[in-house]
Structure 1
């Protein structure tokens, strides 16, 4: 992988991005162009415009942004760090087939897109479970039953 395609995390600049964030929130209304230092105008594909919009909004909110190619492979430790779980848990997920992987030699390699897909499935499952829990609580009138705080000791 060349240096240009490597993962990179960028911190938000010290200058406020409010004006830029306001500009990217507006519908593009057609084509968006990039002007090169030489003055050449390049029309950006809508996918690139969407990425720029997300990056600007995140940075305007004070968040760092990490850009990584989707075909990038991760070690089990890198996948664990990304998911916020332990490496042995990632290995169990791989062994159960919840995340596909390749093992060209001794070490497992996981595609970043597969880790992100698993993360999105888990996020969706959590939301659905929480929605179901709220629904059950409302049906059982549990919200009203706990209006008055009780002493626990």
Structure 2
């Protein structure tokens, strides 16, 4: 059976079975060897680690009642595809490329970006935001801004 690789959204339908699969995938030790898939006819195939991780993430989301969209991505993206993945405009992405924040190639007239570079940039930005929020929280705590009694209304000083 050959299927065209298109985006597809999966909706949670069998919550009890999904919860069972989720528990199994979360409790199975990662070093327990090779995960396998067995057909009804008894044929067995080994599953690579990235597929097991994908199944774990899908089972987690579906068991929580969330929908999951599976979409194939090329390993080399256009600037528009990379911008959409990062949730920004194409001109903003092009500025990041031109300043060297994300590497790219230009095999012809158009820029191409490696998916791994886009994902690494996304993780870097997430870590940067998390560190910034932690620093803001620390400063607020140092200034005693969390010590205020919320039961007391703030008074304006005119």
TM-score, normalised with respect to structure 2: 0.78
Q: Which stretch shifts more, 12-21 or 134-143?
A: 12-21
Q: 1:137: how far off? A: 0.7
Q: Structure 1 residues 9 and 108 mapped into 2: Cα distance closer, same or farther (>3 Å)?
A: farther
Unaligned 5+ segments in structure 2 are none
Aligned to 2:107: 104
Partner of 2:147, secondary structure, is helix
Q: Deviations over 1:97-149 (max 9, x none)?
A: 11111111111111111111000000000000110110111111122248445
Aligned to 1:14: 13
Q: Structure 1 residues 108 and 37 mapped into 2: Cα distance closer, same or farther (>3 Å)?
A: farther
Alpha carbons 2:21, 2:59 under 8 Å: kept? yes
Would you say how many aligned residue pairs link Structure 1 and Structure 2? 148
Unaligned 5+ segments in structure 1 are none
- Distance in 2 (CA, whole Å) between partners of 1:15 and 1:79 is 34
Q: 1:45: how far off? A: 3.7
Equivalent residues in 2 for 1:109-124, closer than 5 Å: 109-124=112-127
Aligned to 2:59: 56
TM-score, normalised with respect to structure 1: 0.80
Consecutive aligned runs of 4 or more in structure 1 exceeding 6 Å deviation: none
Equivalent residues in 2 for 1:1-153, closer than 5 Å: 8-16=7-15, 17-28=18-29, 30-31=32-33, 32-61=35-64, 62-68=66-72, 72-145=75-148, 147=150, 148-150=152-154
Q: CA RMSD in A?
A: 2.6
Q: 1:18: how far off? A: 2.2
Q: Which stretch shifts more, 111-120 or 6-15?
A: 6-15
Q: Deviations over 1:20-68 (max 9, x none)?
A: 2222222247242211354212233444322221222123231313354
Q: Structure 1 residues 9 and 151 mapped into 2: Cα distance closer, same or farther (>3 Å)?
A: farther
